[in-house]
Amino acid sequence: MPNRTSGSTPRIGVLALQGDVREHLRALRAVGADPHPIRRTGELADLDAVVLPGGESTTIYKLAVAFGLFEPLREAIAAGLPAYGSCAGMIMLADRILDAAEGQRGFGGIDMTVRRNAFGRQVDSFEAEVDLAGLDGPVHGVFIRAPWVEQVGEAVTVLGRVGSGPAVGRIVAVRQGNLLATAFHPELTGDLRVHARFVDLVRARQR
C-alpha cells in the first residue's frame, strides 16, 4: 500500500464493521484528513493509514474474518501501515490479549499485553481526565467497557495513565512507531487533539 505524494491530504480508512465509525470519520475530517469507511479488501488500496474504532473486539474480529479483511489488514499493519485504535481498537492492535473470547485474535503490531474489559462491564463505564505526553492540558477520557495495558515491551512508549480512582496508574495510551492506541474514546468528546496527533504522525511518514 504505497503512500501518496508528500504533502497530500492523508487518506485514512476507518474499519467500518462495527462500533463508533461515524464519530471517527467526523473527527478525522475535522483535522484535515480524507477519511473513508472500509468494509471490503479492495478499499484497503492506496490508504495512508487506518483507524480501528471502539466497539466490541470479538465482533470486530469475527466480522473482519467473515469479510476477508483480517489477514490483509494484519499484514498491512505489520508492513508499516500507520494505525490508531481506540478502546476495542487498542485490543485489536495488541500482540497479546488477556480475557479474550475463545479463538479471538487481534491484528497485533504493538508489543503490549492488554486486558479486555479491564475496567468492568457497561455499567462500570466512567469518564476521567487523562494527561497525555506531548499534549497541553488533559484529555477528557470516556471509558466504556475499556481495556487497560498490563505490560509493554521496550519499543513501546507509554503516553498516558489513569490519574485517580481505584485503577490509578493503569496504562491507557501508548505508541509504538506508526501505531497509536488509547483505551478511551476521544472521538466521543469533541476534543480533536488525539486525532490531530495521529494525522500529524501520518503526514510525517509521507514526507
Residues labelled as active-site residues: 87, 185, 187
Alpha-helical runs (H) found in the chain: 21-30, 57-66, 70-78, 88-93, 193-206
CB 72 within 8 A of CB 65: no
CB 172, CB 139: distance < 8 Å:
no
Query: Nine-digit cell at 13?
Result: 480508512
* Burial status of residue 115 (CB atoms within 10 A of its CB: 0-12, 13-18, 19 or more): buried
